[in-house]
Structure 1
Amino acid sequence: MQALLPLGLFALLTGQASPAELEIQVQGLRNANGQVRLCLTRNPAHFPDCNGDPAAVKRSLPTRAAASIRLRGVAPGIYALSVIHDENGDGRLNRFMAIPREGFGFSRNPRIRMGPPRFDEVRFQVSGGVVRQAVQMRYLL
C-alpha cells in the first residue's frame, strides 16, 4: 500500500512524517580550491566527523559547486551538520599544532572555543518539507 500513496498521504495515514529536503547554504568559502565535505548525523557519538556511523550522510563536492547543497529524502529527526573546506583535496581537515589550517563550519553557527562544538550546540530538527541551514565557514590560519 505504501508504494501507491504519495508520501504526504502515507504520513497522514500512518502517523509517520514524510522525508524532508535539507538545503545547506555554505557561506564564506575563501577560495574555490579542493572539495567541500559535509557530515550529517543523528548520533552525538559520531559528531563531528561521522566516522563509524553507518547511518550518517556524507557528501564531497567540488568547492565551486558547494554554495548550495540539497539533500533529499532526509528522515525526520534531530541532526547535526559539520562542513570542512578540504582545500588540498586530501580527504581530511589539516591542522598545524592542533589548529585547523582549512575551513570548517557547523549547523547553527555556534561560537568556536577550544575544539569542535558539542552536538547539543549545533543540533536542529528535521520534520518534513524543506529545512534550511546556513553554514558560515571559519578559517583560523
Structure 2
Amino acid sequence: MQKRVLISAVCLPLLGAAAAPQQASLHLTFEGLRSQKGSIRLCLWRDPAGYPDCTRGTGATKESVPAANPVLDITGLPPGDYAVSAIHDENDNKKLDKSFIGMPTEGVAFSNNAKIAFGPPKFEKVRFHVDGETTQTMRMRYFL
C-alpha cells in the first residue's frame, strides 16, 4: 500500500506537467520592400473570419514594425494553424492605399508567399502550421 501511495505522489506532478499548454513562437521576415519608409502592418489570423482586412478582423492579432527593420517575433502562441496578411504602409496612414480602380498602391504580402491574382489569396492558401519555433519569410508585392 505504501508503495502505491509513493508512486502516486511521485507521478502526479509529472502528469500535471504533461498537461500544461505548450507555447510556440513565430519569426516573420519581410523581403522585397521598395523603401524603408513607413511601417509594415500585419494581422495574424487563426480563422478566416474577417480575413484579409485587418480593419474588419476582430479576431486577428494586429502588429506593426518599422519598414527599416522588417522583422517580427511573436511568442507565446498556442500551437496550431495561422495565416498572415500584411501591408507596407509607406505613408503611415494606417490603411492600404488604393488607386481609383481599387488596385493597391502600397505593398501587400501573405504567408506562404501565396499567389495574388484577382484579389487576395484564399485563407486556405496562406494558412500554415505553427509548432515550436516556426519561421515565415514573406515577399512584399507591389502593383503600381
User: Would you call these one fold, judging by a TM-score over 0.5?
Assistant: yes
The separation in 2 between residues aligned to 1:73 and 1:25, in whole angstroms, is 18
Q: Is the 8 A contact 1:43 1:53 kept in 2?
A: no
Aligned position for 1:104: 108
Aligned position for 2:91: 88
Please list, as runs of the form range in 1=range in 2, the aligned pairs for 1:1-141 lying within 5 A after superposition: 13-14=18-19, 16=21, 18-66=22-70, 68-96=71-99, 97-127=101-131, 129-141=132-144
- What SS does the aligned partner of 2:124 have? helix
Q: 1:53: how far off? A: 4.1
Question: Cα distance 1:24–1:52, how it changes in 2: closer, same or farther (>3 A)?
Answer: same
Question: Cα distance 1:139–1:19, how it changes in 2: closer, same or farther (>3 A)?
Answer: same
The separation in 2 between residues aligned to 1:10 and 1:140, in whole angstroms, is 54
Once the two structures are overlaid, the 10-residue window that deviates more, 68-77 or 96-105, is 68-77
The separation in 1 between residues aligned to 2:52 and 2:104, in whole angstroms, is 14
Aligned residues: 130
Aligned position for 2:4: none
Deviation by residue 1:23-66 (Cα, 9 ceiling, x = unmatched): 00100011011111010011202211234544421111221122
- What SS does the aligned partner of 1:58 have? strand
Question: Gaps (5+ residues) in structure 1?
Answer: 1-8
- What SS does the aligned partner of 1:95 have? coil
Question: Cα distance 1:33–1:123, how it changes in 2: closer, same or farther (>3 A)?
Answer: same
Greater Rg, structure 1 or structure 2? 2
Q: Is the 8 A contact 2:51 2:57 kept in 1?
A: no
Q: Name the TM-score, length of structure 1 as normaliser.
A: 0.84
Q: Name the TM-score, length of structure 2 as normaliser.
A: 0.83
Question: Gaps (5+ residues) in structure 2?
Answer: 1-13
The separation in 2 between residues aligned to 1:10 and 1:36, in whole angstroms, is 43
Q: Is the 8 A contact 2:105 2:142 kept in 1?
A: yes
The separation in 1 between residues aligned to 2:17 and 2:37, in whole angstroms, is 45
Q: Is the 8 A contact 1:39 1:59 kept in 2?
A: yes
Kindly, what percent of the aligned residue pairs are identical? 42
Q: Which amino acid aligns with 1:98?
A: G
